[in-house]
Amino acid sequence: MANHVIAMLLHSFHKMDINLAQAVLAISILILSIFWFLVVIFKKTSKGSLPPGPRGLPLVGYLPFLGANLHTQFAELAQQYGPIFKFRLGNKLCVVLSSPSLVKEITRDQDVVFANRDATIATEVLTYGGFDIAWSPYGSYWRNMRKVFVQEILSGRNLDACYELRRDEVIKTIEHVGMKVGTPLEIGELAFQTQVNVVLSMLWGGTVEANPQSEAAAAANFRVVFGKIMDLQGKANISDVFPILRRFDIQGVEKEANTLLQVADGIFDAVINERVQTKDDEVKIGGRKKDFIQILLELQKLEATGEDISMLQRKAIIMDTIVGGTDTTATLTEWGMTEVLHQREVMEKVHNELEDVVGIGKSVEEFHLPKLHYLEAVVKETLRLHPAVPLLLPRRPTKSSIVGGYTIPENTKVLINSWAIQRDPELWDDPLKFKPERFLMEPKKWDFSGNNFQYIPFGSGRRICPGIPLGEKMLKFMLASLLHSFDWKPTKSKEEDISEKFGIVLRKQTPLLAVPTKRTSKHY
């Protein structure tokens, strides 16, 4: 009997064990499921973490580690931390993007959030307080000014109407080179002088200096002033990192910006005053009714808000046209010439095409340009390997957002490394080689619209460069004219000629010096 009771007890304990184990298992599964569900929900709704990136020092962050060539340093950091990485400059968070899909996220999917610029003290001073187009905050003022710029000043009709002005300047340059055959010339200076005269004649119907003897000197001076204005806008300034130091202006950036602004402002004032005193119907430049300054002076109110436009705002737009329109195009002409001159077979192909389309002994005209397909590929390849604005212009999100799975908080400085993307071996075959042929196959795929995010030399999204039509025309016109009229020999080796100097505009470390000889025959 006792044995039977013990056996029953053992059996019921055993049964209880199994039930208990089953219950424990069921509860565990339930808890795990709830936990997993919560994790999934949390992941979906959480804002993600900040991107990875190098650690800096307390207080100053990564500032002491920034080198001179930010575009290459950022490309190296992207190798280490991935296509989206962050670093701090003091309290300021900076994020660098280096892949087409990330560019798409911020310039298309979340374009409005990232349409603000991250202005610095220098840009604020040099744009009369952010009244230009490039650095003004995203909003109705920017929209209005950009509309005027694109639809009135740089419209196809207006550009066609001032073709004669561009042509005159290019012819003057070719004649100047013709007188210097056999002597080394600085191509960058030449391109800058031409471009500045083109832009100024379109702006106010004049060049830098009416007297031809002092024109070169005046242009050189102009280049120094506006080159410095461009450089200063990209210069690292401790007062931007620690706004509390602004009043001490330790590096003298603000002081220099004010001095440069005064010089530029003096030029603008002189031209505007003269124009205000001129009767309207006297302003007929190059067959056009109005030059840019006249369009700006006649513009009285902002369309969207009905607010009056001030003289400072007009001058800020003039500043943008000069700063945005000269250095970029001149520097790219120099880079394009550098690559072509160092690759004999490329020069030969350009020459052959020019002979076929233009004809030896004849001048290049703008109507030839659409037929110069190989030259167009040379221009595109120059813009790929040497994007004039390698980090584009910095953006600043108006609210915290998720990009590439990471959080980019409001007010972060966001940089796009177009230089790195356009040399990425995952995206480009033989990326360091200057190979115009890569653009011949599907020319439409490689336009400048910013819709192909692996090729963004003019940027992308609503803040894409509005000067593309003028920049593209001038770049092709200058290269075609210089190469059609002359054969060139560089004075240095390619290795000496190819090194870069970082700035908002990516210049050459040393100027390209080349010796022109007259071209007469197809076979040289």
Binding residues: 465
| Least CB distance to ligand HEM at residue 342 (A) | 21
x/- map, 367-396, ligand HEM, by CB under 6 A: ---------------------xx--xx---
Binding of ligand HEM by 467 (CB under 6 A) = yes
What single-letter DSSP state applies at residue 57?
Answer: B
Q: Which one, 171 or 464, has the nearer CB to ligand HEM?
A: 464
Q: Which one, 94 or 392, has the nearer CB to ligand HEM?
A: 392
Helix, strand and coil percent figures for the chain, each rounded to 5: 55, 10, 35
Q: Which one, 111 or 249, has the nearer CB to ligand HEM?
A: 111
| Least CB distance to ligand HEM at residue 504 (A) | 9
| Least CB distance to ligand HEM at residue 230 (A) | 11
Candidates 232, 341, 465, 504; binder of ligand HEM (CB under 6 A) is 465
Task: Return d(Cα 52, Cα 46) in angstroms, integer.
Answer: 17
| Least CB distance to ligand HEM at residue 458 (A) | 5
Annotated binding site for heme: 465
Binding of ligand HEM by 463 (CB under 6 A) = yes
Binding of ligand HEM by 121 (CB under 6 A) = no
Piece of 203-211, 262-270, 455-463, 507-515 that binds ligand HEM (CB under 6 A): 455-463
**143-162 binders of ligand HEM (CB under 6 A):** 146
**36-65 binders of ligand HEM (CB under 6 A):** none
496, 172 contact by CB (below 8 A): no
x/- map, 318-337, ligand HEM, by CB under 6 A: --xx--xx--xx--x-----
Binding of ligand HEM by 188 (CB under 6 A) = no
Task: Return d(Cα 117, Cα 411) in angstroms, integer.
Answer: 10
83, 99 contact by CB (below 8 A): yes
Q: Which one, 466 or 503, has the nearer CB to ligand HEM?
A: 466
Q: Which of 169, 199, 195, 157 is nearest to 289 (CA)?
A: 157
φ, ψ of residue 157 to 5 degrees: the values are -65, -45
Q: Which of 426, 516, 420, 422 is nearest to 73 (CA)?
A: 420
Determine whether 300 is exposed, middle or buried from the number of CB atoms within 10 Å of its CB (0-12, 13-18, 19+).
Answer: exposed
Distances (CA, A) of 204 to 286, 296, 325: 11, 11, 14
Task: Return d(Cα 95, Cα 392) in angstroms, integer.
Answer: 13
End-to-end CA distance of the chain: 121
Task: Return d(Cα 503, Cα 505) in angstroms, integer.
Answer: 5
Q: How many residues bind ligand HEM (CB under 6 A)?
A: 26
| Least CB distance to ligand HEM at residue 144 (A) | 12
Piece of 59-67, 361-369, 433-441, 457-465 that binds ligand HEM (CB under 6 A): 457-465
Binding of ligand HEM by 358 (CB under 6 A) = no
The label of the residue with tokens 């972060």 reads: 412
> Residue 178: CB partners within 8 Å, gap ≥ 6?
485, 518
| Tokens (6 digits) for 186 | 């600085």
Helix (H, G, I), strand (E, B) or coil at 319: helix
What single-letter DSSP state applies at residue 83?
Answer: S
**473-512 binders of ligand HEM (CB under 6 A):** 475
Q: Which one, 385 or 393, has the nearer CB to ligand HEM?
A: 393
Q: Which residues here bind ligand HEM, judged by CB under 6 A?
A: 133-134, 146, 320-321, 324-325, 328-329, 332, 388-389, 392-393, 457-460, 463-467, 470-471, 475
